[in-house]
């Protein structure tokens, strides 16, 4: 059994293939956290200690026992109002302004299958198990259900929370975190992934010290600036060894991940919805569902932890037709022609694509309304047939006649002030009454907290998608939320959460109505690269920055929590449109092949040599794509600290491995670079598929292999190793 309850000791044990998570109902009916780590059959309740701690208060039930304090004890779901002065997971405000919630264990249920959450994305597993633990506050009439989903195959535990007001008086959720993890001792590092537009998910590792450290977003999206994926690792943890814990928030809106070392050197990590502009009212009988957090533990380093999350995304988060399929090689029209195109230009792009072996042409921004720049027509989802010179259906047919598939770009959540939709329904845009709006990219945000707005956009975009054979849709979001107000909502503390419910509702409707379309998420590139979007879109455009060298660092950070199959990555023109850097097309190909592969350039400007190299790249991608998308991924170097970027992918039976290396700097009379491989079978031998040379798996991993040096910037190498039978 994955979930076991020891009734005598009142201990819950959640077991995956390699890990155990334990908690206990104590004598006062508080739910205490006991253990999360390597798999064990032992009960860890002996780890709880009790001492009289000055200025740490005691529950009234404890009477004269001053050794019992929730300010010190490790808890599963700490709340404000119990004498715990550390960072808590929940704050409940009564209508009179008081904060005094006190949650005690009431009952529990164990059932087969992984739970789901109404209106929200969550991991799915028919073979998993669910534990529901109900906590209650008798005075408030509040019931809080803690949900635990156990997915044994990928060593993953999911956590969520449901809050129901069973009382007579309205209450407000001022903070609701989906997961809390207490460590009663030990030193930890916090690994986070910060960034900005066009330079997302940079790697950062900092020591957890006394006080609170946090990352998060108040932008209305998970953001370019901080990713909702955090790792706590022992200071000695490396790629290959050491203890580490990963936390991934299955949500695309505002979030907070907070770690605190307390006065007694205990560490608490809390993850959930940001408190900023959040105050959710619950009337009698109403419920609130918190988004999910996925937790995983590895005793064998960061590489193992990443692969556990990768398997979880591929098998338990992504859904639909394309979750395990090799994705088509595409070319996007954006960097080829921006807004300057007509239907004939897109058909020419399709002809050129077909000749190279490219399988999909994507018509990016500019095909609708009067959209010839980014200042108008968002919200007017009618095809501009005058600009195209034909209907969308006719354009789709002409492109398919070239032997390639056809896709389009949309930005459903936005509206331009210069649009028919805004002129007809100005109240459908998020704007604070009597205040001039904050513009970004000269556009406003539609009020997706209003179901009427969501339904209107669904009908308009659905009508477009029915006009022809559309095989792919890129869903973009090109600004953050600023003027958070909904004319449709009385309590404005609900708006940001209800907005995300609206986004998910539209995604669910569209992906359900058009299941044969490949959907790709995007938010100015990687501004919403999270598990919530991957539930609906099996791949996400990793970054608007397509520079191969910057992408090595961006994709390095992304790889800690997300699989290569989810990373949209393209070869673009040089000089690069974001950095001006010039790299060889071979280097661009090696970097872009670390993901869902494609091109972002004007095919008509290619020389014959580049055309031949692209044909070779596409042939290579088709041969290697199953390995790249389904294999275990290993970071071989840290491109923030070393002169080269190196990574590899190994299939499940360790019979094939792909090593990729890009030199980031070149110097005179350089020393030889030796790359130590990972993930191979040390008892087997491997052959270089190009040279025929044979190597010992143990030697490649322990001693490494030399990388050839030559002249020129940013040289790249890709070596396929095949096991010698």
Strand arrangement of the beta sheet that strand 3-6 belongs to? 3-6, 11-15, 19-25, 31-38
Position 598 confidence tier, pLDDT thresholds 50, 70, 90: very high
Share of the chain above pLDDT 70, in %: 100
pLDDT of residue 666: 87
User: Which residues are within 8 A (CB) of 118 and not within 5 positions of it... i.e. 6 or more apart?
Assistant: 289
pLDDT greater than 90 at residue 7: yes
* pLDDT above 90: residue 323: yes
Which pLDDT belongs to residue 711?
72
**What tens digit of pLDDT does each residue of 555-578 get?**
999 999 999 999 999 999 999 999
Rounded Cα distance between 410 and 454, Å, is 14
**Across all residues in the chain, what is the average pLDDT?**
97
Enter the pTM of the model. 0.98
User: Does the pLDDT of residue 212 top 80, yes or no?
Assistant: yes
233, 244 contact by CB (below 8 A): yes
Q: What percent of the chain has pLDDT over 90?
A: 98
- Nearest residue to 60 via CA among 102, 105, 10: 102
| Residue whose C-alpha is closest to residue 719's, from 702, 710, 703, 707 | 707
DSSP state of 546: -
Chain segment 426-476, per-residue pLDDT in tens: 999 999 999 999 999 999 999 999 999 999 999 999 999 999 999 999 999
Q: Contact, 719 vs 624, CB < 8 A?
A: no
CB 720, CB 687: distance < 8 Å:
no
Termini Cα distance of the chain:
39
Task: Report the C-alpha gap between 651 and 670 in whole angstroms.
Answer: 33
Determine how many CB atoms are found less than 10 A away from the CB of residue 359.
19
User: Could you tell me if 680 and 694 are in contact, meaning their C-beta atoms sit under 8 angstroms apart?
Assistant: no
pLDDT in tens, 147-172: 999 999 999 999 999 999 999 999 99
Q: In this model, does residue 619 exceed pLDDT 90?
A: yes
For 8, residues 6+ apart whose C-beta sits below 8 A from its C-beta are: none
Residue 207: per-residue pLDDT? 98
**pLDDT at site 712:** 83
CA distance 690 to 675: 18
Q: Treating both helix axes as pointing N-terminal to C-terminal, what angle do 451-465 and 495-513 enclose, rounded to 10 degrees?
A: 30
**Per-residue pLDDT at 709:** 77
CA distances from 679 to 60, 304, 456, 471 (A): 55, 10, 50, 36
Question: Residues with catalytic annotation?
Answer: 530, 610
Summarised one tens digit per residue, pLDDT across range 189-200 is 999 999 999 999
Compute the average pLDDT of residues 601-612: 96
634-653 pLDDT tens trace: 999 999 999 999 999 999 99
Residue 576: C-alpha distances to residues 369, 548, 585 (Å): 30, 9, 11
SS (H, E, C) 74-95: CECCCECCCCCCCCCCEEEEEC
Region 595-612 average pLDDT: 96
**Quick count: other Cβ atoms within 10 Å of Cβ 392?**
24
CA 403 to chain centre: 34
- What residues pair up with 571 in beta bridges, in sequence order? 599
- Output phi, psi for 511, to 5 deg: -70, -30
Neighbours of 624 (CB within 10 A): 19
Kindly give the pairing relationship between strand 330-332 and strand 596-600: parallel
Domain annotation for the chain: domains and CATH numbers: 3-317 (2.70.98.60), 330-541 (3.20.20.70), 644-723 (2.60.40.1180)
* Distance in angstroms (rounded) separating the CA atoms of residues 147 and 159: 6
User: Could you give the 3-state DSSP secondary structure of residue 555?
Assistant: helix
* Helix pair angle (343-356, 608-630), 10° resolution: 70
Digit-coded pLDDT (tens) for 28-48:
999 999 999 999 999 999 999
CB 45 within 8 A of CB 33: no
Q: 522 pLDDT band (50/70/90 cuts)?
A: very high
pLDDT confidence of 14, banded at 50, 70, 90? very high
Residue-wise pLDDT for 67-113, tens only, equals: 999 999 999 999 999 999 999 999 999 999 999 999 999 999 999 99
Q: How many residues does the chain have?
A: 725
**Cα gap 496→502, rounded to integer Å:** 10
């Amino acid at each position: 059994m994955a979930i076991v309850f020891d009734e005598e000791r009142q201990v819950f044990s959640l077991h995956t293939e390699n890990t155990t998570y334990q908690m206990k109902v104590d004598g006062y009916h508080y739910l205490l956290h006991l253990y999360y780590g390597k798999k064990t059959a032992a009960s860890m309740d002996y780890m709880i200690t009790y001492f009289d701690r000055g200025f740490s208060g005691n529950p009234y039930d404890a009477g004269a026992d001053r050794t019992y304090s929730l300010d010190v004890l490790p808890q599963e779901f700490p709340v404000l109002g119990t004498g715990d002065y550390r960072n808590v997971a929940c704050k409940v405000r009564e209508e009179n302004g008081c904060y005094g919630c006190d949650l005690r264990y009431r009952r529990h249920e164990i059932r087969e299958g992984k739970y789901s959450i109404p209106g929200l994305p969550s991991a799915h597993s028919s073979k998993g198990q669910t534990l529901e633990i109900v906590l209650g506050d008798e005075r408030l009439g509040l019931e809080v259900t803690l949900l635990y989903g156990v997915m044994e195959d990928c060593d993953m535990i999911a956590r969520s929370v449901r809050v129901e007001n069973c009382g007579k008086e309205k209450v407000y959720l001022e903070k609701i975190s989906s997961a809390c993890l207490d460590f009663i001792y030990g030193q930890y590092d916090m690994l986070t992934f910060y960034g900005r537009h066009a330079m997302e998910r940079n790697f950062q590792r900092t020591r957890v010290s006394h006080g609170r450290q946090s990352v998060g977003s108040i932008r209305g999206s998970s953001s370019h600036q901080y990713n909702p994926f955090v790792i706590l690792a022992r200071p000695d943890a490396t790629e290959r060894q050491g203890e580490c814990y990963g936390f991934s928030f299955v949500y695309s809106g505002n979030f907070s991940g907070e770690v605190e070392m307390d006065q007694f050197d205990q560490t608490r990590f809390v993850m959930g919805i940001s408190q900023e502009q959040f105050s959710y009212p619950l009337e009698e009988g109403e419920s609130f569902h918190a988004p999910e957090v996925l937790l995983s533990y590895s005793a064998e380093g960061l590489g193992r932890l990443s692969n556990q999350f990768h398997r979880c995304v591929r098998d338990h988060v992504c859904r639909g037709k394309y979750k395990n399929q090799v994705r088509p090689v595409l070319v996007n029209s954006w960097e080829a022609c921006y807004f300057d195109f007509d239907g004939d230009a897109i058909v020419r792009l399709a002809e050129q694509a077909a000749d190279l072996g490219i399988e999909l042409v994507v018509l990016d921004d500019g095909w609708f309304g009067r959209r010839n720049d980014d200042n108008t027509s968002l919200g007017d989802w009618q095809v501009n047939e005058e600009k195209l010179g034909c209907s969308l259906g006719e354009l789709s047919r002409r492109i398919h006649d070239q032997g390639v598939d056809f896709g389009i770009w949309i930005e459903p959540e936005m509206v331009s002030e210069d649009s028919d939709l805004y002129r007809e329904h100005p109240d459908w845009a998020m704007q604070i009454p009597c205040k001039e709006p904050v513009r970004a990219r000269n556009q406003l945000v539609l009020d997706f907290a209003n179901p009427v707005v969501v339904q209107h956009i669904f009908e308009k975009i659905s009508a477009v998608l029915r006009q022809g054979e559309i095989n792919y849709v890129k869903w973009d979001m090109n600004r953050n939320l600023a003027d958070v107000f909904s004319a449709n909502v009385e309590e404005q503390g609900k708006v940001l959460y209800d907005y995300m419910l609206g986004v998910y509702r539209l995604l669910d409707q569209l992906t359900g109505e058009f299941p044969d379309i490949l959907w790709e998420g995007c938010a100015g590139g990687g501004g919403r690269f999270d598990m919530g979007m991957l539930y609906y879109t099996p791949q996400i455009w990793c970054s608007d920055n397509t520079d191969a060298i910057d992408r090595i660092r961006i994709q390095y950070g992304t790889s800690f929590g997300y699989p290569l199959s989810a990373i949209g990555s393209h070869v673009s023109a040089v000089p690069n449109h974001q950095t001006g850097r010039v790299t060889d097309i071979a280097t661009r190909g090696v970097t872009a092949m670390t993901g869902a592969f494609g091109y972002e350039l004007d095919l008509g400007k290619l020389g014959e040599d580049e055309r031949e190299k692209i044909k070779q790249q596409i042939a290579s991608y088709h041969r290697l794509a199953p390995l790249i998308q389904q294999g275990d991924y290993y970071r071989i170097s840290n491109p923030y600290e070393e002169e080269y970027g190196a990574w590899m992918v190994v299939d499940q039976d360790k019979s094939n491995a792909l090593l990729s290396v890009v030199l980031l700097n070149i110097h005179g009379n350089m020393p030889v670079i030796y790359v130590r491989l990972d993930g191979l079978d040390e008892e087997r031998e491997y052959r270089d598929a190009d040279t025929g040379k044979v190597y010992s798996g143990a030697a490649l991993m322990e001693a490494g292999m030399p990388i050839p040096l030559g002249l020129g910037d940013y040289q790249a190498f890709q070596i396929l190793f095949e096991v010698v039978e």
